[in-house]
Structure 1
Amino acid sequence: MVISGELLRPLHYMRQLTIGGNTHLNLTLGDEFLNMTRLTHLILSNIKLPSLNSGTFRQLRHCPLVEVDMSGCHIQSITKAAFRPLRNLTVLSLDDNTLNASVLHDTFYGLQGAPVRELRLSNVHLQNLSPTMFIALNQSNMTTVRLRNSGRASIERRLLQSASNI
């Protein structure tokens, strides 16, 4: 199934879009979101989005988007600038994806300057966390990081020192 721009483009006043759970959905996150200037919550859980690049959220840059849920989207790669257009983002869920610590390290640089409050990273492979993992989010309002079932036996104190609000 494909969601085309023609279907979503007229929905100027939409505030929340939940299209998660559609495992056969082909979504490009491109022109279909062009006119959604009031969208605050985007729930995309359990659709296939193997990679996120600098253009993925480009059309959402004028939205007051505060929550993006991409749990279980089979994400394997995220470029540094993928989340940069989401300047109002407070909640990001990347639970249940095949990500690793080095991919996430770069991801957080794209969130620099956003008022991120909560990161959900449960069931993500985080064996080799860098002490600078969260340094890009140092100026954020982050108070919650969920790391359930992340493959970590322990978390070093210096990892969280760069995110003192947690």
Structure 2
Amino acid sequence: MAPFQLFYLLLSLSVFAWAWLRGGHTERAGVAILVLAFLVSFMMQPVTLGQFRLGDAIVDLGVFIAMVWLALRRDRWWTLAAAAFGGLILIAHALMFLTPDLQEAHIRMDVASRWGIGVLMILCLGAGVVERWMAGERPVSLEARWRRPERRAT
């Protein structure tokens, strides 16, 4: 595993755990979207169109649509930034699709750009948790009940 890949994985896991424990419903929805995209990408990886990675593009389109939906439904700024970064990833896919003669250097640049933009998307999620903390809002996990409420004897 490349060092940047390891960094990306560890950063993602730590931000996801932090956002799940300290974030609100919007941050938890963002974690769910990104984890689901990660899992679905393994199934979609073999889907190609020539040398174009169609499966990755479909997964990234789904993430973009989900982030735009989240941005329109919730009042958090980080969802708009994450949707914008998702749009940049789709532009990278479109440029790869429109390149007439794909070579390995093009594919490496595409993967590097999508990884870098993905890191920015993860950092937006983390910044959303920081914003929530700075505003003094309580995390959802402190209010959540993990067991059934006990009934009082009558």
TM-score bracket, normalised by the shorter chain, equals under 0.3
Please give the TM-score of this superposition, normalised by the length of structure 1: 0.23
**Structure that is richer in strand per residue:** 1
Please give the TM-score of this superposition, normalised by the length of structure 2: 0.24
**Structure that is richer in helix per residue:** 2
The structure whose Rg is larger is 2
